Structure 1
């Protein structure tokens, strides 16, 4: 009985050691995800970003296209700028947004002015009719 237990223990030890040997990565003991994370990001990408707020009057506007800004603007308002994604930004992206504050509408009630957000001439978000106080936003990543 003792020899059987010893024999089984030796076989199990051999199986365990063989399982800890070279993995399926062809001799590279690093997991596949670690090898992928070392992949260098692609070249920088520059995108044209256009932020628009429609309507009339004056509104406080918060906006971001690479960096954040806040100020008072006369409506209609439009800002076109370039955003360059580099390094980690190509994968993680950057947040783009335009958030106008409510203005007094024709009926005397406060309403949110409509907004539009475009990337490279393509509309990526809009808040037609000012349906929401959230404004317009988009997460821009590299291609």
Structure 2
């Protein structure tokens, strides 16, 4: 009895495995092609390079965090300005890349600490600004392809 059950199980396993590789209904046209090869690949378009300018106004010295593809952190005398090239490619053209500048507070004329104003320009067009004061949010923008 045990041999009969084992033999039947092996035969069923063979039938099931053979059934998984059955005809796809396309007359054998897809034979030898993987499922991923059958789907067209997404074309995003050619890479795009953009000129990004960050600016922090005010007086004194501030620690500034900024990103234009890569993250940076530096201490600088104000006013401060930095220009970088950002190249978008592939999925970045649609999803975008986060760019930002975040200055830390500086001592104001009255002795209190305030956040300096900031701005971001992309290809000569201002895309974000923050007048500073009590807000520490800085400036940010998601750069996407055109």
Indicate whether the TM-score tops 0.5.
yes
Query: Which stretches of structure 1, 4 residues or longer, exceed 3 Å deviation after superposition?
Result: none
Which of 54, 58, 62 is the equivalent residue of 1:59?
62
| 5+ long unaligned stretches in structure 1 | 1-29
Which of 106, 112, 116 is the equivalent residue of 2:115?
112
Provide the TM-score with structure 1 as the length reference. Answer: 0.72
SS at match of 1:70: strand
RMSD: 1.8
Confirm or deny that 1:46 pairs with 2:46: no
> Structure 1 residue 57: deviation in Å?
0.5
Which of 87, 90, 93 is the equivalent residue of 1:90?
93
SS at match of 1:56: coil
SS at match of 1:130: coil
- Rounded to whole Å, the distance in 2 between the matches of 1:52 and 1:98 is 8
CA 1:124–1:132: 2 relative to 1, 3 Å: same
CA 1:47–1:130: 2 relative to 1, 3 Å: farther
- Rounded to whole Å, the distance in 1 between the matches of 2:114 and 2:134 is 9
Q: What do residues 1-55 of structure 1 show as CA deviations (whole Å, max 9, x unaligned)?
A: xxxxxxxxxxxxxxxxxxxxxxxxxxxxx9xxxx68x321100001000000000
Contact 1:115-1:130 within 8 A present in 2 as well: no
- Rounded to whole Å, the distance in 1 between the matches of 2:61 and 2:132 is 17
The number of residues matched between the two structures is 111
Q: Going by fraction, where is strand more abundant, 1 or 2?
A: 1
Give the aligned partner of residue 20 of structure 2.
none
| 5+ long unaligned stretches in structure 2 | 1-34
Q: What do residues 107-141 of structure 1 show as CA deviations (whole Å, max 9, x unaligned)?
A: 10000000000000100000014352010000001
